[in-house]
Each structure stands twice: as C-alpha cells, then as structure tokens.
Structure 1
Amino acid sequence: MTKIHSRLIWVILIALAVFLGYLYWQQQQGPTSGRGAGAPVAVSTAEVSVKPMIRKITSLGSGLANNSVQIVAPASDFLIELNIQEGKQVKAGDIIARLNNIQQLARVAELSAVLTDQRRQLDRLQNLATTQATAQSLLDEQQTRVNTTLAQLDIAKAQLNELTIRAPFDGYLGLRQVSQGAYVNTGTVLTTLDDLNTLKVEFSVAEHYLAEIKRGMSVNVTNVAYGNVDFIGEVSAIDTRLDPVTRSIRVHATLDNSDLRLRPGMLLKVNVELANTPALQISERALIPQQNKQFVFVVNSDNTVSQREIEVGQRIPGWVEVLSGLEEGEEIVVEGIQKIRPGVVINKVGAR
C-alpha cells in the first residue's frame, strides 16, 4: 500500500512538472504563437501631440434667485387693494397691496391739524418775546408741545406707510396666496418676489480644490430641460467655512438669465475650468504601469516596437500629461499593448 501511494505521488509530481513546462513554453512563444513566426500584430497607434490640458471641477448645484423675498402682511387687517398679477414684472417701489388705513389716515390728519395750531401759537409767543411781553418759560413749553406733536406725527405717518406694501426691488411676482378684501393676520404670506434676471448657482467643491478655485473663474452650466445648451457665468462668492462632515465648501456663481430660461430650484450641472494650458499628452490606454513606473510602446521606423519609460504629470479623464520620455510627433501603441512585446513587428490598424 505504501509503494502504491509513493508511485501516485511521483506521477502527480511529474504531471505537474510537465504542466509548468508547458506554461513556460507558451509564455516564451509570446504573442506570435498561432500567427506564424514574425507575423505582424494588429494594433492601434497614435501620434504624441500637444493639446490643451483642461482641468475642471464638475459638481451638481441648485439655482437660486439673485434676490428673493416673501411678501407678508405687516399688520392684521382687511386688504383693500391687491395688485398681484402672477408672473408679472414689477419695479422697486411699485404698490403690491394695501391694508385698511382709514384710522391711520385720520390720525395723521388730526396730528397735522394740531401741529399747525401749535406752531401758530409758538409763532405768536415768539413775536411777544421780542417785545419782552411774555415769559421765556411759556415759549419753552410751547416749543416742547410742537416737538412732541411732530414726533407723534412722524410715528403715525410711518404706521400709515407700513400699511402700503411696496416691491423692495425689481423682480417677478409669484403665485397669489390671498384675495382682495380678505382679513389677514400679521405675517400672512401674500406672494413671493424673485429677481430672476440674474440667477445664482450654489454648488459644493471638495477641500482638495480650495487653493485653486477663485472668484471670477468661468463657469459652464447645463440643465436637462435644455439638453446641451451651455449657460456661461462666473464664480461670484466662496464661503468662509467648510462643511466639517463632507469637507467641502459652498460656492456661488452668477449667470445672466435675462431670457428667464433658468429658474430657482433647478438642478444644474456645473463645470468650473481651473486651468487651460498646452501640454504633451497621450491616451491613458497607452500606459503600461510597472511598480511605480510608467512605460509605453514606441513604434520604430521599421514598424517594430520598443518599450520606453516615461514620466507622467497631471491627468484628466482619458488623457495624461507627459513630462519626459517622449517627443511630439512620435508614434505609440494605444490599443493592443497586451498582445505585443519589444521587437515585435506590428500592423497599424486605426492609426490616429
């Protein structure tokens, strides 16, 4: 039984050795096996060229009105005037609504009449004072009455003015929430007012880009409602604080929206261009990483390839900057690198 087991072990070891030898032989045959000795290998090549190295940030943002407020009732009373046409453009100072102001009007008229009479009495006392026929104390008392009434009149006029609701800036009215003649309480929302001619976009940028993003940088914005239409703006503000959870910072950009195509609340795709400089670039597909180094296959004049080490710099999607190891105009293999080895003859298919 022991001899049988020993023979079985030897058979297994011999079979394993034969298998490993076969694998080694296959590896030595290389990519030319099955094609005949020296058969060209079909690959795709491209010339090394200088192209703009565009680095950008892509983020999702939300549209915000440049200025936005809710128009609310400043007091509790009946609405005697309501000038809300939904979607209508209004100018700063235009009357939007007016609350019942009969009592305030009467109060202003009363105080105005009292003030007129008190000023007339003050003038009479001042004339008497020039002839020393009246005491200075009477003159001072009357002046105090005039000043008191004047202050009360200013308060009454301010209260009267509050009952007339005006647009604080140029903008577009939103949906009407009340009807004329309704009794409203203090703080009741009548409508909204948005400045839509300039749209703000709020988006977040990772902490990694904080040192690169600056005010005034160009911003490209798109929205699914308009397909590939680009809306161009610029970075207008950068928050002073980072979010401690996401380690990102909020950024605002402004866009010209005079055609009113964009609206507050829209989901917007934002692209911020960080840099646009010419650089020697190759396709990422051409790279052959080995440990901490990068290699490419360079096409020689006789259509053979040689492996060369290069130094890479910045990367953008699909492309990588070449700092050294290649010259502009040289030809490299970009597709089919797994089928070739140094010295192999290639057949260029789809050269670019």
Structure 2
Amino acid sequence: MAKLHSKLIWLILIILLVFVAYLYWVPSQKVDGRRGGAAVAVSTAKVETKAMIRSISSLGTGIANNSITLTSPTSDFITELNIREGKLVKRDEVIARLHDVEERARVTELQGILVDQKRQLDRLKNLATTQATAQQMLDEQQTKVNTTLAQLDIATAQLAEMTITAPFDGYLGLRQVSQGAYINTGTAITTLDDLAVLRVAFSVAEHYLAEIKVGMPLAVTNAAYGDVRFAGTVSAIDTRLDPLTRTVTVHGTLPNDDLRLRPGMLLNVNLVLEQHVAKQISEKALVPQQQKQFVYKVSADNTVQQVEVTIGQRIPGWVEIIGGLEEGDEVVVEGIQKLRSGVTINRVGG
C-alpha cells in the first residue's frame, strides 16, 4: 500500500513538471513564431521637429472699442436731426439740435449786462485812485461782475446742452426719435460705436493666470465667417477673479477696418500661451509603465525594440520628446498591444 502511494506521488509530480514546462514552452513558441513567421501589421510614424504651440480656447463676446448711447440732456423739441444710420461720423460732428431760442437769448442778455458792468467797474477803478469813498462802490461792482460771469457760464452750458455732438469717431446706430418730436431728459436718440478696433472679452481659468501677459497673440473665429481667423493681442487682464467660477476676464483687441466683426458677436478665442520648436510624436505611440514612458522603435530590419523616452509638454494628440529618440526615428503608433522587442512588423495604413 505504501508503494502505491509513493507511485501516485511521483506520478503527480511528473504531471506537474510537464504542465509547467508546457506553460513556458507555448509563449516562447508564439514569440519564435512571430520572429520567424508572419509579421505583425502596425502603423508607424517618424519623429518630427516642428513648432509646438500650447494654447487655450474660450468663448468670448465682441465689444466696441468705444460705445455709447446718445441721449438728450434736457427736455425740448428736436429742431435738427443728422442721423445717417450705419454711417461714419467724426468727432464733434452735430448729431441733433434741440429748440434753443430761450437759451441763446439768455446768453445774449447776460453778455450785454456783463459788458455794461465791466465798463462801470473800470470807471470806479479810476475813481478809487483819487477818492477813498469809491472803494466800497468798487467792491460792490466787482461782486456784480463776478455774479454775472457765473450766470453766463451756467447759461452757456445750458445752451451747449441743446446741441448733441459725437464725442469720438464712430458709426451711428438706428435712429430712435424723429425730427420735430418732443423728447424728455434721458431719451435715447441713437447709438455710437467705434468699430475700427473691436475688443473681445473672454474668461480664462485661474490655472493659467500666471502665464497670460498683455501683448500675447490670440486669434478668433466666428460662425458667420467659417474658418477665417482674425488675429489680435491681449490688451488687458482684470485685477479680480470671479469667486464663483474662479476665472479671470481677459480683453483682447482686433483690427477691424473691414467692419466684419460686430459688438455682441459670439467669438471662439484661441490664446497662444507658448510656442517653441520641439521633437514630437503622436501620443498614441507611448507605452506607459509605472512612472516611465516607452515607445517601440523600428530598426532597419523592420524589427522593433522597446525604448524608454523622456517626454516634455503635451498638446492634444502630440507629446514633446526630450530624450531617447532623434528626428527621423520611426516608431509604432498603432498595433502596439501586439508587440514585443524583436518582433518583425509590417507597415499598413498612414
């Protein structure tokens, strides 16, 4: 009985040894078969040296460089209206006049009074040199002159309010009133926008705040013009962040001589944070292992070797190669899961 148990034990050990040997033999046969048999179909690409542009995208809104609504500073009838909708006007050009007969008459009246008061003041100054009693009269007359001057300043300002002019060069918007109409203080007459330069306001996450500088290049696109890119620069960065979204508002300026961009437009903004020349490969070529990165480099005999690489910055779809590869080296980008060092490959696709 003891001999039977001993034979069974030896039989089980032999079977286990055969099974272990089989487990090691089959994978090596598969690898040997790949090495000496059919090549593995993969896609490859070469290491390229080109500009690496790191940028961020955001949605922005077009804003006129200068923009106001022209309103009436007082209440009266419109006697003159010079609104050519959508047309360019120059600074100080008259947009509208209000009925100003009373204001003009008041200015003329005060100017006449002031002339007479100054004449009497000059006469009293001459008397004051010889008569001590004339000094009091001189002081009283000087007070009258000063009072009239103040009243004239007020009347002149009121007269000026009756004429509405353009405070800067710009394009007039739609007319909101008609000539001859009676309008109240604050009534909107039209809008005026300086469109020669368009500003774009957009938000950027606080993560990028330290990298954004005034003068950095940006580009915008709009659905109305398809893929046409409008170039500009960062002109201002807000001093405060939004405490809810943790974003900072950035303004850019865009030349707009052709007036294709308008205030209120939804603009797709691309802000370039950094641009430099670097060796690059597709992100799909990387094989991460723990804290390291590897690629399968293609040799002259169409076999591959796993090579460790040092990577730098990443942009969507691409990664910078700092070490481990040279420009022109060929690496596998698709079919990596089938590879091991020494396997022969067959290039397919792009």
Q: What's the TM-score, normalizing by structure 2?
A: 0.88
Deviation at 1:309, TM superposition (A): 2.0
The answer as to whether partners of 2:45 and 2:332 remain within 8 angstroms in 1 is yes
Q: Which residue of 1 aligns with 2:17?
A: none
Q: Which residue of 1 aligns with 2:189?
A: 190
- Separation of aligned partners in 2, 1:29 and 1:82: 95
Q: Which residue of 2 aligns with 1:8?
A: none
| Matching of residues 87-236 of structure 1 within 5 Å | 87-132=86-131, 135-236=134-235
Structure 2 letter corresponding to 1:326: L
- Separation of aligned partners in 2, 1:292 and 1:336: 22
The answer as to whether partners of 2:35 and 2:343 remain within 8 angstroms in 1 is no
- Going from structure 1 to structure 2, the CA distance change for 1:328 and 1:97 (only over 3 Å counts) comes to same
Deviation at 1:44, TM superposition (A): 1.4
The question of 1:323 aligning with 2:288 is answered no
Secondary structure of the corresponding residue to residue 92 of structure 1: coil
- Separation of aligned partners in 2, 1:63 and 1:32: 65
- Going from structure 1 to structure 2, the CA distance change for 1:105 and 1:27 (only over 3 Å counts) comes to farther
The answer as to whether partners of 1:38 and 1:344 remain within 8 angstroms in 2 is no
Deviation at 1:133, TM superposition (A): 7.8
Deviation at 1:120, TM superposition (A): 1.7
Q: Which residue of 2 aligns with 1:59?
A: 58
- Going from structure 1 to structure 2, the CA distance change for 1:305 and 1:133 (only over 3 Å counts) comes to closer
Query: More deviation in 219-228 or 64-73?
Result: 219-228
Q: Which residue of 1 aligns with 2:276?
A: 277
Deviations 1:174-222 (A, max 9, x none): 0000111111111111110000000001111111111111101111111
The answer as to whether partners of 1:92 and 1:170 remain within 8 angstroms in 2 is yes
Secondary structure of the corresponding residue to residue 210 of structure 1: helix
Q: Which residue of 1 aligns with 2:12?
A: none
Of all paired residues, the percent bearing the same amino acid is 68
Q: Which residue of 2 aligns with 1:237?
A: 236
Q: Which residue of 1 aligns with 2:74?
A: 75
Aligned length: 330
- Going from structure 1 to structure 2, the CA distance change for 1:269 and 1:31 (only over 3 Å counts) comes to farther
Q: Which residue of 1 aligns with 2:286?
A: 287
Q: Which residue of 2 aligns with 1:257?
A: 256
Q: Which residue of 2 aligns with 1:49?
A: 48
The answer as to whether partners of 1:31 and 1:339 remain within 8 angstroms in 2 is no
Secondary structure of the corresponding residue to residue 332 of structure 1: strand
Deviations 1:113-157 (A, max 9, x none): 111111122222223333438521111111111111111111100
Q: Which residue of 1 aligns with 2:38?
A: 39
Secondary structure of the corresponding residue to residue 159 of structure 2: helix
Query: More deviation in 239-248 or 291-300?
Result: 291-300
The answer as to whether partners of 2:42 and 2:347 remain within 8 angstroms in 1 is yes
Structure 2 letter corresponding to 1:236: S
Deviation at 1:26, TM superposition (A): 8.5
Deviation at 1:110, TM superposition (A): 1.2
Q: Which residue of 2 aligns with 1:6?
A: none
- Separation of aligned partners in 1, 2:196 and 2:35: 71
Secondary structure of the corresponding residue to residue 57 of structure 1: strand
- Separation of aligned partners in 1, 2:29 and 2:194: 73
- Separation of aligned partners in 2, 1:29 and 1:124: 127
Where does structure 1 lack aligned partners over 5 or more consecutive residues?
1-21
Moved over 6 A (4+): 22-29
- Separation of aligned partners in 1, 2:208 and 2:86: 39
Deviation at 1:285, TM superposition (A): 1.1
The answer as to whether partners of 1:223 and 1:267 remain within 8 angstroms in 2 is yes
- Separation of aligned partners in 2, 1:283 and 1:36: 26
Where does structure 2 lack aligned partners over 5 or more consecutive residues?
1-21
Secondary structure of the corresponding residue to residue 145 of structure 1: helix
Deviation at 1:345, TM superposition (A): 0.8
- Going from structure 1 to structure 2, the CA distance change for 1:248 and 1:24 (only over 3 Å counts) comes to farther
- Separation of aligned partners in 2, 1:83 and 1:97: 6
The question of 1:349 aligning with 2:348 is answered yes
- Separation of aligned partners in 2, 1:24 and 1:144: 117
Secondary structure of the corresponding residue to residue 235 of structure 2: strand
- Separation of aligned partners in 1, 2:185 and 2:26: 88
- Separation of aligned partners in 1, 2:138 and 2:30: 118
- Going from structure 1 to structure 2, the CA distance change for 1:30 and 1:132 (only over 3 Å counts) comes to farther
Structure 1 letter corresponding to 2:215: G
- Going from structure 1 to structure 2, the CA distance change for 1:31 and 1:156 (only over 3 Å counts) comes to farther
Secondary structure of the corresponding residue to residue 211 of structure 1: helix
